[in-house]
């Protein structure tokens, strides 16, 4: 217990006190994110918050973790370092999408082929249990790449990606602690501490953004957490009180916002004949801003909804993974339809208002 608390405090403290220096240097060197275009912020803002998150998290993990209890952890650090360097380069001077994808594949490949942190079973989902090695490697690579990009895509308003990642890391950290897996709990709470230290400067009046440096690291870590939760859960005896039923569906429920929003946006882009990676303003958080909510209000509402889904999946985990997936995706689709309807009404009112103003000007002329 002591190491878990110290890991959180160490990561929080280092990130909390490092961020002001990062902000100062970024402003002096003009390493900032300019407003306009798809961006919803109105002021010039540094986008190197991921530097503080990476420093706090990795330092705390290295300091407090007993490496003998987590085989392959050195490969996780190598993968994080790759994403940190490529993300930092992209935040300073934007990179080609292919270069970023190659770096993500390299980082994910190290985890899959060197560390053994792979998804080797569907745990009964769709009637599938153990996967063959080649299929497990392919599925694991896709999972890591998907989550890296999912957390990058939802990093569009203040505090959102960080808050969702914090929920995931805390929930996983508590679960690992309850099953007496202190090493994984340390990793999760070190990550949570770094995120909380960053959110102090991002969630209200954003003084800094996490940038790709931060969002890709969070995505990779959430992939690692999900794979390890499923793997460790399957090794627990059926009599274990904290063993999770329908573990794949529960994981999806915990990650519901980044997963659902990414699948939804990618599907729309593909159906419209565009690239799934071409940015636009079809994300749920963008629609919430468009209906008049502030960044803080939109983030708070999405975090609350994510917590509700978390309670649902843990409360109904015994109904089976397939049926639980149907429930959470049906709920997510229903809520999105409501938002689309509200967004459409607001847009119509704005168009009508603009038209009336234009007619009034025409009459005066």
The average pLDDT across 218-230 equals: 95
Helix (H) or strand (E) holding 46: strand 45-46
pLDDT digits (tens, 9 = 90+) for 34-84: 665 555 545 678 889 999 999 999 999 999 998 878 888 999 999 999 999
For position 115, what pLDDT does the model report? Answer: 86
- Of the listed ranges 56-65, 128-137, 222-231, 267-276, the least confidently predicted one is 267-276
pLDDT grade for 354, boundaries at 50, 70 and 90: low
Contacts of 348 (CB under 8 A, 6+ apart): none
Higher pLDDT, 169 or 356: 169
- Per-residue confidence (pLDDT) for residue 236, from 0 to 100: 92
Lowest mean pLDDT among 7-16, 28-37, 146-155, 185-194: 28-37
pLDDT at 42: 56
Helices 49-64 and 73-92: crossing angle in degrees, nearest 10, is 170
Looking at the predicted structure, is the pLDDT value of residue 326 above 60? yes
Q: How far apart are the first and last CA of the chain?
A: 75
Task: Please say whether the beta carbons of 74 and 67 come within 8 A.
Answer: yes
Q: What is the largest CA-CA distance in the chain?
A: 81
Torsion of CA 72, 73, 74, 78, to 10 degrees: 110
Report pLDDT for 139.
94
Angle at 340 between CA 334 and CA 344, to 5 degrees: 150
pTM of the model: 0.90
CA angle at 109 for the pair 108 and 114, rounded to the nearest 5°: 115
How distant, in Å, are the alpha carbons of 67, 69, 291 from that of 301? 38, 38, 13
Q: For 253-302, what is each residue's pLDDT tens digit?
A: 999 999 999 999 989 888 888 777 777 788 899 889 888 888 899 999 99
Structural contact between residues 107 and 220, judged by C-beta atoms closer than 8 angstroms: yes
- The chain-wide mean pLDDT, for the chain, equals 89
Query: Are the C-beta atoms of residues 81 and 246 closer than 8 Å to each other?
Result: no
């Amino acid at each position: 217990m002591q190491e878990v608390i110290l890991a959180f405090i160490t990561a929080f403290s280092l990130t909390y006190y490092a961020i002001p220096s990062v902000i100062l240097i970024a402003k002096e060197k003009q390493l900032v994110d300019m407003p306009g275009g798809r961006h919803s912020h109105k002021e010039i803002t540094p986008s190197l918050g991921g530097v503080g998150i990476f420093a706090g998290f990795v330092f705390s993990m290295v300091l407090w973790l007993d490496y003998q209890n987590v085989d392959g952890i050195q490969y996780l650090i190598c993968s994080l370092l790759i994403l940190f360097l490529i993300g930092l380069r992209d935040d300073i001077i934007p990179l080609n999408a292919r270069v970023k994808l190659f770096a993500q594949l390299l980082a994910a490949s190290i985890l899959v082929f060197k560390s053994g942190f792979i998804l080797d079973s569907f745990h009964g989902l769709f009637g599938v249990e153990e996967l063959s090695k080649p299929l497990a490697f392919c599925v694991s690579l896709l999972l890591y790449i998907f989550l890296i990009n999912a957390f990058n895509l939802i990093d569009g308003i203040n505090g959102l990606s960080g808050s969702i990642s914090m929920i995931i890391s805390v929930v996983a950290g508590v679960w690992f602690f309850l099953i007496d897996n202190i090493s994984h709990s340390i990793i999760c709470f070190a990550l949570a501490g770094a995120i909380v230290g960053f959110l102090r400067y991002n969630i209200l009046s954003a003084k800094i953004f996490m940038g790709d440096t931060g969002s890709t690291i969070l995505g990779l870590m959430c992939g690692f957490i999900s794979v390890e939760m499923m793997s460790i859960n399957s090794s627990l005896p059926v009599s274990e009180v904290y063993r999770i039923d329908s573990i794949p569906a529960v994981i999806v429920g915990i990650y519901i916002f980044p997963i659902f929003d990414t699948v939804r946006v990618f599907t729309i882009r593909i159906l419209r004949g565009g690239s799934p990676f071409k940015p636009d303003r079809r994300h749920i958080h963008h629609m919430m801003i468009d209906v008049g909510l502030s960044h803080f209000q939109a983030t708070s509402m999405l975090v609350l909804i994510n917590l509700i889904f978390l309670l649902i999946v843990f409360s109904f985990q015994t109904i089976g993974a397939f049926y639980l997936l149907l429930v959470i995706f049906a709920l997510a689709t229903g809520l999105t339809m409501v938002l689309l309807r509200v967004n459409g009404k607001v847009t119509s009112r704005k168009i009508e208002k603009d038209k009336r103003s234009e007619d009034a000007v025409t009459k005066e002329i």
